Structure 1
Amino acid sequence: MATSPDHAVVLGAGMSGLFTARVLAQHFRRVTVVERDATPTDDGPRRGIPQGHHPHGLLLKASDLFDSLFPGIIAECAEHGAVRANVLTQHRVYIYGHELRQTEIGRETVLLSRPLLEHRVAERVRALPNVTVRRGWEAVGLLTTGGYRVTGVTVGRSGSGEREDLAADLVVDATGRSGRARAWLRTLGYPEPAEQRVPVGISYATRLYELPPDVLGNDRLVSVSPQPAHPRGIAFVSRENHRWSLSLYGYGDHRPTADPDEFAAGIAELAPEYVLKALARGTAVSDIQVMQYPAGIRRRYDRLDRFPEGFLVTGDALCSVNPVYGSGMTIAAAQARELGRQLRGGTHGLWRRYFRAAARITAPAWQFAVMGDAPLAGTSRLRQPGVVLGSAYMRRMARAAETDQEAAGALMRVVGMDRSPAHLFRPRLLASALRGGRPRG
């Protein structure tokens, strides 16, 4: 552990904030995590995490990143009930109406609830001897020296007038896409980052069912993706405590609601017959929870020429991708690990090095999400030439993946951020996509 600098403050105790605190604990004598929500992570989904009721899984790269930040965390989650499933051999994945061929690629996903995952990670962070988590507090404003360097943050106790100044060598905003970083920059006379915005207009409705883990035989996950003519999809995902999450989601006017009859009708329309038979054997054990996601956002802090020393922004405040792709936690973990690498070069000029590196991390996930959403969101702002061609190619690749096991595995590796979208354009896969997956003849 470094002997200098002394103190870092992380704003936000969501997954991004926890990852960041873990990395900073290796470089600072003390780390303080400030979290507005006073609800403990083991008491169900937190109010500040609207996606907490919906399916969660650690995809390919996510599992590697989690274990690198918290060695043994995957096995620990499994000990507490998380479901480990082999990628594709225990998945039924339908993309643009094509069922990907089930094939062994030697990787697994970990399926679990958000509260279980967040609680295990939070416990690891709280166990670090130089980390303090202060719940029920929120950032009010930044402390600066001459406006060019952040020297700490003013925090206030939620629901009261109590205030306190926390001096810090580094302040990291991990409060999400609606955080106050841009407003603070304006106040200090700094430019705001350019913002790329992809209107998605998607809503999710999720209900929990009590069912045995083997209700679908060997399968532990079923995903039916939307199609342009009918932009609705479903996800049926196993999790701990013999429960399955069933989600219905849709774009634009096809948004689901919490109405039970509408929810049942949507599932009946989209779900394969074997899923409907499984549901008939189960019992609903929750109300229908609805979340709306209006737009993907990517803020280009990496393009700024001026930024205060001693301050960073991370997580969803940098890049927030449609949750249907399951890449948010992977991006956050990768950003945290990259922050650790950049801190080896000291804190001077850290913002420039970090934002540029973080932009390289988020670019593939952003590009893949935009290509996937383009034919579904119904907005002209997505119809850029490269996006349209990429989306058309994705549909060809999905058709090829019905019969071509290499194409199926490649698609899943890109979805899991184990490979960049460029991986799908290798000559062998390009030829398969153009043939539609049919054998050479």
Structure 2
Amino acid sequence: MVASTSLSEQHAVVIGGSMAGLLAARVLLNHFGRVTVLERDRIPDQPKPRSGVPQSHHVHILLTQGQRILEQLFPGLEAELEAAGAPQVNWTHDLRWFSIWGWSYQTSSDLNTHPCSRILLEWLIHRRLEQYDHLKFLTSTQAIGLVMNAQNTIVTGVQIQTEQGLDTLKADLVVDASGRNSALPKWLTQLGYAAPTQTMINSFLGYSSRWYQIPEGWEAPWKVMLIHTKPPDHRRSAVLYPVEENRWVVTLAGVGHDYPPIDETDFLHFAQSLRSHEIYNAIQQAQPLSPIYSYRRTDNCWQHYEDLQRFPGHLVAIGDAVCAFNPVYAQGMTVAALGAQTLDQCLSLMVQKQKTALQGFPSKFHKQLAKMLEVPWLLATSEDLRWPTTVGSTPNWQTRLMHQYLDLVVRASLNRSYVSQTFWEVMHMVKSPKVLFDPRIFLPALGLG
């Protein structure tokens, strides 16, 4: 493919049509003349589970920052969610959280989202993207390799397997958004490049989920219920999450190989064994709508593309293909949105600085992406490192000190509105964790104010 000096005349290919791939495709539309998304599954006409997204049966929380970014990318999406029956939740008022110290403080804030199933959210976004004339979905299509230039320095396309057979798709930029199972490290070594180093931290957490119909006439002073673990003895947690069509998704989790069962009786016994019986009491009154689904691949895994000294041109990775988090911390979709935002910003900056915008782009993008990933990685892994059964890293004195301080912040948040709101703004990635060291947080946490 002959390179153009204008991105508006170029073609970008996204490998993977889940959340990270869809959001990457949306921002690529701001810059490229054509965008193609490769997806192994067929896209259903209605919101239905796809075989390529087995975790879609579980709770997927879109944090406030994530919903705000999605609304910027797809204006009116919140109204579509509301029209589809997604409830509205104010995360400091409608969440009932049983923390290590007790029940959370409930107060109003601007941390609002429309909880929904991942199935519905991806379907609505896919429907929006189909409205763009210069975007194309190739479904039932799998990327099986990269096409390189004669010098083996620049990616010029993707080798694909379709229902009709093998083919080659030319591209000016390839974005790998194929998730945890990305083949990119293997492809790099096959091409004579080094694979990225990998950091993995695994608390051996597993979870099981079931869908319920909310009982008719149900009334409670909360919409979302979260029962937390309490290290080192209480390894079990749960979330009850409202979604469209007046349903609950209930996910039970256990850390350190304490996996929740998939048998109905044992599922209820596990719920009854939590530090609070609130979720157990709720689902005892509700009608089950689904089987019990289980998921256990929950390690935090970061492929450090930002550290590679040699990397093919016109190729980047994004989403879980770069950094996958323990899903129990509900960061994945919001980090995917932040990753797409980073991609958009990096492309805009390079267009401003140089005419041939893709020259040196992979290195610049991966370094910026890594900076964005530092905070969610710290939040997720530091929690997993509370458990002695966690492998991949050992908590140092700084991590232990942070655990102690965050526990004090949580305790102060139980009876102070400002501390509570600020804490949840950090958890929803609206504010930096640095704000937790403001005197208005620091002093109450230490019992001095």
Residue 92 (structure 1) shift: 0.5
The aligned residue for residue 270 of structure 2 is 266
Give per-residue Cα distances to partners, 1:318-348, cap 9 Å, x unaligned: 1111111111111111111211121121111
Residue 231 (structure 1) shift: 1.1
The aligned residue for residue 207 of structure 2 is 204
- Answering whether residue 167 of structure 2 is matched by residue 156 of structure 1, we say no
Residue 214 (structure 1) shift: 6.9
Runs of 4+ that moved beyond 6 A: none
- Answering whether residue 19 of structure 2 is matched by residue 7 of structure 1, we say no
Residue 213 (structure 1) shift: 8.4
Task: Report the AA paired with residue 173 of structure 1.
Answer: D
CA distance in 1, matches of 2:183, 2:99: 37
CA distance in 1, matches of 2:278, 2:254: 22
Identity across the alignment (%): 31
Q: The residue matched to 2:364 in structure 1 has which SS?
A: helix
Residue 97 (structure 1) shift: 4.2
CA contact (8 A) 1:111 1:237 kept: yes
Give per-residue Cα distances to partners, 1:240-296, cap 9 Å, x unaligned: 111111111011231112111211011112264444443233211111010112410
Residue 3 (structure 1) shift: 5.8
1:293–1:423: structure 2 CA closer, same or farther, 3 Å change rule?
farther
CA contact (8 A) 1:85 1:110 kept: yes
1:20–1:422: structure 2 CA closer, same or farther, 3 Å change rule?
same
The aligned residue for residue 403 of structure 1 is 415
1:27–1:247: structure 2 CA closer, same or farther, 3 Å change rule?
same
Task: Report the AA paired with residue 64 of structure 2.
Answer: L
The aligned residue for residue 337 of structure 1 is 341
The aligned residue for residue 390 of structure 2 is 379
For 1:59, which of 60, 63, 73 is the aligned residue?
63
The aligned residue for residue 175 of structure 1 is 178
CA contact (8 A) 1:232 1:248 kept: yes
CA contact (8 A) 1:41 1:122 kept: no
Q: The residue matched to 1:244 in structure 2 has which SS?
A: strand
Q: Give the TM-score normalised by structure 1.
A: 0.94
User: Any stretches of 5+ residues in structure 2 without a counterpart?
Assistant: 1-5, 351-356
Give per-residue Cα distances to partners, 1:53-112, cap 9 Å, x unaligned: 011232110111111111111121111111111121111112224322111222212211
- Answering whether residue 430 of structure 2 is matched by residue 430 of structure 1, we say no
Residue 412 (structure 1) shift: 1.1
Give per-residue Cα distances to partners, 1:33-71, cap 9 Å, x unaligned: 111122527352222212200112321101111111111
CA distance in 2, matches of 1:233, 1:266: 10
CA contact (8 A) 1:216 1:274 kept: no
Q: The residue matched to 2:257 in structure 1 has which SS?
A: helix
- Answering whether residue 311 of structure 2 is matched by residue 307 of structure 1, we say yes
The aligned residue for residue 232 of structure 1 is 236
Task: Report the AA paired with residue 421 of structure 2.
Answer: G
Residue 421 (structure 1) shift: 2.2
CA RMSD in angstroms, aligned pairs only: 1.8
Tell me how many residue pairs correspond in the alignment: 434
CA distance in 2, matches of 1:276, 1:200: 25
* 1:28-107 to 2 correspondences below 5 Å: 28-40=32-44, 42-107=46-111
Larger mean CA deviation between 291-300 and 270-279 belongs to 270-279
User: Any stretches of 5+ residues in structure 1 without a counterpart?
Assistant: none
CA distance in 2, matches of 1:378, 1:282: 35
CA contact (8 A) 1:57 1:109 kept: no
The aligned residue for residue 147 of structure 1 is 152
Residue 426 (structure 1) shift: 1.8
Larger mean CA deviation between 272-281 and 233-242 belongs to 272-281
The aligned residue for residue 255 of structure 1 is 259
The aligned residue for residue 22 of structure 1 is 26
Residue 212 (structure 1) shift: 4.7
1:394–1:326: structure 2 CA closer, same or farther, 3 Å change rule?
same
Task: Report the AA paired with residue 388 of structure 1.
Answer: R
CA contact (8 A) 1:251 1:377 kept: no
Q: The residue matched to 1:256 in structure 2 has which SS?
A: coil
CA distance in 1, matches of 2:194, 2:223: 47
The aligned residue for residue 165 of structure 1 is 168
Larger mean CA deviation between 74-83 and 129-138 belongs to 74-83
Task: Report the AA paired with residue 168 of structure 1.
Answer: A
Q: Give the TM-score normalised by structure 2.
A: 0.92
CA contact (8 A) 1:97 1:225 kept: no
For 1:391, which of 400, 403, 406 is the aligned residue?
403
CA contact (8 A) 2:224 2:239 kept: yes
CA distance in 1, matches of 2:7, 2:321: 30
Q: The residue matched to 1:241 in structure 2 has which SS?
A: coil
- Answering whether residue 363 of structure 2 is matched by residue 352 of structure 1, we say yes
Q: The residue matched to 1:191 in structure 2 has which SS?
A: coil
Q: The residue matched to 1:58 in structure 2 has which SS?
A: coil
CA distance in 2, matches of 1:216, 1:350: 53
